[in-house]
């Protein structure tokens, strides 16, 4: 397929009013990525070298979004919504450049797989003029039927126009289509609008192509590939299907998921074989987990790298910019942000480490925090190799704890601590005999007077 040029046209102009959202429908996310970006990724994986986005509602927002997920994509605005064929022709200038294959896709079908698109392109390579992607369902009500004769597709019949026999057909139209680039403009321009809505329907090119002596075929994919997302309930269904696919891929690749249905991946999560993931773990975008790592239950990880044989959680949060080296530990109720935790270091419980380095084999005591924000700027904390930070210590950045430095529990550290030094940053304890009883009596008296 690499020898054939391919243009993928993604129709993304719908307003999506059923989403009840100011955000364009196709920008709603599945696995942390806009739906339309999922479609673009599948097109690219199927060999589509060029991408055309047909946009309408929220055009500027769409352009900004596409600059991130498809920086090379061209945008074409559909000024009027006059049907699917009319929408495709909004990208006329791209089609006219002359591609071997033209894929027509929809921005609200995020579960389309590259292999389904590749199968359609292979049919074009074998001589088909048009290929329609279909699916089978035991309940075809509401879907257009794919009518075949002698192995070829002769029509796409909307349900209202079906005969009794045709209504029993369970092979249905997904709407996705592949067209031989030599004929694409000719076929699209031949589509008329002589129908009740006065719109130009892409499905009409099946009959047009057949009438022009071109071979038209249907290829089959699962129903999930064709699933369109129109409201929040369907968005949740799409998320569930995507997650189910990804969990299975991970487990077949050697990842242990103790309770698969409770683990949520992002679109770009990378988990190496022999990683072990307990229940109720959430991965946001930008996470890489190396082999042998253990992610305990109820952990939330985003924008982070978890090294080999690292132990995370339970109830840990790793935020963007976190890099945990091998054999390190981030324990329960700990939060780490934009920090390097080096080999064998331990942050076992109830700590916050932000904008920092924790040196190899250092130990961070319970309740320790790096005070990295002064209300205006973020500052850096550097904790050296084999340093020991006692419980309930506050390290006020910018500050450096040298290699082997020891901070006594309960300290507030505002100055650098040299290597192998011991630092106390707390007030001397003072005991006032009987003052506890006197304070208690005074407070009780004041409360009684107030009542």
- Among the ranges given (40-54, 70-84, 200-214, 327-341), the one the predictor scored with the smallest mean pLDDT: 70-84
Is residue 157 scored above 70 in pLDDT? yes
Question: For the chain, what is the mean pLDDT?
Answer: 94
All residues at 6 or more sequence positions from 247 whose CB lies less than 8 Å from its CB, including other chains: 257, 260, 261, 263, 265
Phi, psi of 96 (to 5 degrees): -70, -15
**Token reading at 323:** 């890099």
Beta strands in 208-315 (DSSP E): 216-220, 256-257, 270-271, 276-277, 282-283, 288-289, 294-295, 300-301, 304-306, 311-312
pLDDT of the residue at 405: 96
Separation CA 355–CA 372 (nearest Å): 7
pLDDT of the residue at 1: 58
Positions marked catalytic: 349
Phi, psi of 450 (to 5 degrees): -70, -30
pLDDT of the residue at 37: 95
Q: What is the mean pLDDT of residues 89-116?
A: 96
Segment holding 443, helix H or strand E: helix 435-450
Separation CA 255–CA 211 (nearest Å): 53
Tell me the whole-structure pTM to 2 decimals: 0.90
pLDDT of the residue at 142: 85
Give all domains of the chain, ordered by start, each with its CATH number.
6-226 (3.90.550.10), 232-423 (2.160.10.10)
Separation CA 23–CA 1 (nearest Å): 36
* Terminal-to-terminal C-alpha distance of the chain: 86
In the structure, what pLDDT confidence band is assigned to residue 282 with cuts at 50, 70 and 90?
A: very high
SS3 99: coil
**Token reading at 9:** 């046209």
Is residue 343 scored above 70 in pLDDT? yes
Beta strands in 303-372 (DSSP E): 304-306, 311-312, 317-318, 322-324, 329-332, 335-341, 346-349, 352-358, 363-364, 369-371
Is residue 158 scored above 90 in pLDDT? no
% of the chain beyond a pLDDT of 90: 80
pLDDT of the residue at 32: 97
Segment holding 113, helix H or strand E: none
Using DSSP bridges, classify how beta strands 145-149 and 152-157 pair: parallel, antiparallel or unpaired. Answer: antiparallel
Q: What is the mean pLDDT of residues 12-22?
A: 85
Q: What is the mean pLDDT of residues 252-270?
A: 98
Q: What is the mean pLDDT of residues 204-219?
A: 94
SS3 9: strand
Nearest to 281 by CA among 309, 266, 262: 262
In the structure, what pLDDT confidence band is assigned to residue 298 with cuts at 50, 70 and 90?
A: very high
Is residue 65 scored above 80 in pLDDT? yes
Paired with 341 in beta bridges are: 324, 358
Q: What is the mean pLDDT of residues 142-157?
A: 90
pLDDT tens column, 347-369: 999 999 999 999 999 999 999 99
pLDDT of the residue at 58: 75
Query: Omega of the bond prior to 314 within 30 degrees of 0, cis?
Result: yes
Burial of 186 (0-12, 13-18, 19+ CB in 10 A): middle
% of the chain beyond a pLDDT of 70: 100
In the structure, what pLDDT confidence band is assigned to residue 183 with cuts at 50, 70 and 90?
A: very high
SS3 433: coil
Phi, psi of 294 (to 5 degrees): -120, 120
Paired with 388 in beta bridges are: 363, 406
């Amino acid at each position: 397929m690499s020898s054939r040029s391919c243009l993928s046209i993604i129709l993304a102009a719908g307003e999506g009013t059923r989403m009840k959202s100011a955000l364009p429908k196709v920008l709603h996310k599945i696995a942390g990525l806009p739906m339309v970006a999922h479609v673009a990724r599948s097109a690219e994986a199927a060999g589509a070298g060029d991408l055309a986005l047909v946009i309408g509602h929220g055009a500027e927002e769409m352009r900004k979004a596409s600059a991130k997920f498809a920086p090379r994509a061209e945008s074409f605005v559909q000024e009027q919504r006059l049907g699917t064929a009319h929408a495709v022709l909004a990208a006329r200038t791209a089609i006219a450049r002359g591609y071997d294959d033209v894929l027509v896709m929809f921005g609200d079908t995020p579960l389309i797989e590259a292999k389904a698109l590749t199968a359609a392109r292979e049919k074009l390579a074998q001589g088909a003029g048009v290929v329609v992607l279909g699916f089978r369902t035991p309940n075809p009500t509401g879907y257009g039927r794919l009518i075949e004769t002698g192995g070829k597709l002769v029509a796409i019949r909307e349900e209202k126009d079906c005969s009794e026999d045709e209504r029993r057909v369970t092979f249905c139209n997904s709407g996705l289509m592949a067209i031989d680039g030599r004929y694409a403009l000719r076929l699209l321009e031949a589509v008329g609008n002589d129908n009740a809505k006065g719109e130009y329907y892409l499905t009409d090119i099946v009959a047009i192509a057949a009438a022009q002596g071109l071979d038209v075929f249907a290829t089959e994919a699962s129903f999930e590939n064709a699933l369109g997302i129109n409201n929040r309930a369907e968005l949740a269904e799409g998320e569930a299907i995507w997650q189910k696919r990804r969990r299975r891929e991970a487990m077949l690749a050697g990842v242990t998921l103790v309770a698969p249905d409770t683990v949520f991946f992002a679109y770009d999560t990378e988990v190496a074989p022999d990683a072990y993931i307990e229940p109720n773990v959430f991965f946001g975008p930008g996470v890489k987990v190396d082999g042998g790592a253990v992610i305990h239950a109820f952990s939330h990880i985003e924008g982070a790298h978890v090294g080999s044989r690292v132990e995370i959680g339970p109830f840990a949060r790793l935020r963007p910019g976190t890099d945990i080296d091998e054999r390190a530990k981030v324990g329960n109720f700990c939060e780490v942000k934009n920090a390097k935790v080096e080999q064998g270091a331990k942050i076992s419980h109830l700590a916050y480490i932000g904008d920092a380095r924790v040196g190899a084999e250092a130990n961070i005591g319970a309740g320790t925090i790096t005070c990295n924000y002064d209300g205006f700027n973020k500052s850096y904390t550097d904790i050296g190799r084999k340093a020991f930070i006692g419980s309930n210590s506050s390290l006020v950045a910018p500050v450096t704890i040298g290699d082997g430095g020891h901070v006594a529990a309960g300290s507030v550290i505002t100055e650098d601590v040299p290597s192998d030094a011991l630092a106390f940053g707390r007030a001397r304890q003072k005991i006032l005999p009987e003052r506890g009883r006197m304070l208690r009596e005074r407070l009780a008296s004041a409360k009684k007077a107030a009542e």
